Structure 1
Amino acid sequence: MMRSGADNHGKWVEPVTVQIGRRAPEKIQTSAEALLFLTNKWPCERGLEYQTSRDICSAAIRRQIGNDAARASFVVAASVAKLII
């Protein structure tokens, strides 16, 4: 089982802070939180980076891939969407 990039509770080594417009910033700390954000709060086009991150976060939750890969893919998607602060 690959668990690199996470502690025993699945938290990422470093959270990713995102912000939609003027809303309060949100700290995304796990693959599950990232998947919920991608599914329920994503304000932008759901392009390739979005789809890739959604797939990788889902695989990380199922422990098929490491949480570090999920975090990296979420950072890419959020950066392309200009949500990283």
Structure 2
Amino acid sequence: MLIHKSEPCHHAQWCKPVAVHLPMCPAVEIYSPLTALEILTYRWPSEHGPEYEIAKKRCLDAVAGRCDLEAAREAFMVASSRAHVLTVH
């Protein structure tokens, strides 16, 4: 879903959530780029690679209406897999 560039998407949600299990916290399901951005910024494991930076940028762009929501979801999934926090059902 591509949102018009001038239209912020703070409440936009992904079609399917991404399940992650972060250190010292139970598994959670992430339903939106805004929540993913919060996780990436405040609760992510300390080591960050290029996948982390791409996910953070895509989620920020999705919230601002400059990126496709599913592209942000995919980037978050890749970063989660790289950080070994992705939970596969």
Normalising by structure 2, we get a TM-score of 0.83
Superposed structure 1 runs of 4+ greater than 3 Å apart? none
**Residue identity (%):** 34
Match in the other structure for 1:70? 72
**Superposition RMSD on alpha carbons, in Å?**
1.5
Letter in 1 for 2:2: M
Secondary structure in 1 aligned to 2:86? Answer: coil
Unaligned runs of 5+ in 2: 4-10
Mapped contact 1:59–1:65 kept (Cα < 8 A): yes
Change (3 A) 1:22 1:41: closer
Count of paired positions: 80
> Hey, which of these two has a bigger chunk of strand by percent?
1
Unaligned runs of 5+ in 1: 4-8
